[in-house]
Amino acid sequence: MCADQDRHPTFKASFAERAKNASHPLLNYLFRLMELKKSNLCLSADVTSARELLTLADRIGPSIVVLKTHYDLVAGWDYHPQTGTGPKLGALARKHGFLIFEDRKFGDIGSTVQQQYTAGTARIIDWAHIVNVNMIPGKAAVTALHQAAARWRSRVNYEVRTSVSVGTPVSDEFDENGSDEADGHPTTALSPSNEPPPASNFRSEHNGRKGSIVSITTLTQSFEPVDSPRFGNSIAEGDELVYPGIEEPPWERGLLILAQMSSEGNLMTKEYTQACVEAAREHKDFVMGFISQETLNSESSDAFISMTPGCQLPPDGDEEDGSVAGDGLGQQYNTPTKLVGQCGSDIVIVGRGILKAASPQVEAERYRRKAWKAYLNRIGQ
């Protein structure tokens, strides 16, 4: 793999140049974020508690551009749509400048993957910018996820603004019987659905005494466009912070297709990988790229990103060559120099190499520097 081959133009192009040619809004944003942070690092946050996940995202966030999650590994995941774990991750993503990638690997019939993506307790689509699909069921799974994301996008770009005002009317608006002079009925402000306000808003006496109005409640609603996601304003102090130098991520969602794996003996054939590439080309406004071991751009119009797991560095101070010993469970490791510099991967995905370090923050910075250096060498800078 990664043998000498005719290099696609994206191999030598800078991320800034590729951002200009990226038609997918989220991919354009990601390339610009990578240039801004000088990072092409994704942290695979395979931890088992919500507290640990949020702490890790906060501490490692400055070094990464993507945080990869497995929400179903996490004990104590809070599913509240405004203040739960997903929204809290969203606040940290805005603060530190990274995207959230839920490594769900959807792999079922179209109707099922749509529900797994948009419904259930997790509602992945609400908080994960990126998801991925195992295309074993065929191209229909990609089409189904694309349709689900398009429907969700058409609904969420508007916020409902509601305002309520309460006041007491002036006396000359009513006759001596407490009625509207025009039609003899008590004056009220109706809701947009034309339902009368609660009876508690009024006090009318029917024992011969003059009726009186205590207050009038006015309810108005409007729909206002929203360009980027908000997960509520009650998450935590400072949740409105946005990483300096770039706007918030767009509403659009993105898909990565699992085209190649780093595990020994995997069954993803060349024919399967080619089918993944074809599906991506058919859904360019939804598919951002691939989980792969090398760049899969081959046609002149291809502008996909490649993210690669199985990246590990030797201990600090040891010479870095192309490969590192595996984990004994089938995982094969390669260094950033090989994956980025030789194979054309754009983002390296690192998990245990950072998580098990004595100082994960320090080790994340070491991976960021090495992967970025490999990218600069690749493009000749």
Domains in the chain (CATH in brackets) are 9-157+233-379 (3.20.20.70), 160-225 (no CATH)
Find the helix or strand (DSSP H, E) in which 133 lies.
strand 130-133
Query: pLDDT value at position 5?
Result: 53
pLDDT digits (tens, 9 = 90+) for 24-73: 999 999 999 999 999 999 999 999 999 999 999 999 999 999 999 999 99
183 annotated as belonging to a binding site for a ligand = no
Exactly one of 108, 126, 180, 302 is catalytic; name it.
108
Bigger pLDDT: 113 vs 213: 113
Range with the poorest average pLDDT among 103-107, 319-323, 347-351, 366-370: 319-323
Range with the poorest average pLDDT among 7-21, 105-119, 231-245, 277-291: 231-245
285 annotated as belonging to a binding site for a ligand = no
139 annotated as belonging to a binding site for a ligand = no
351 annotated as belonging to a binding site for a ligand = yes
68 annotated as belonging to a binding site for a ligand = yes
Furthest-apart CA pair in the chain: how many Å? 99
Q: What is the 3-state secondary structure (H, E, C) of 66-98?
A: EEEECHHHCECCCCCCCCCHHHHHHHHHHHHCC
Is 318 marked active-site?
no
Q: Which tokens hold the place of 154? A: 């058409």
Backbone Cα Rg of the chain: 27
CA distances from 222 to 154, 164, 216, 315, 317 (A): 17, 12, 20, 58, 61
Is 108 marked active-site?
yes
Exactly one of 88, 103, 239, 338 is catalytic; name it.
103
Q: What is the 3-state secondary structure (H, E, C) of 260-302?
A: CCCECCCCCCHHHHHHHHHHHHHCCCCEEEEECCCCCCCCCCC
- For the segment 187-199, the average pLDDT, to the nearest whole number, is 43
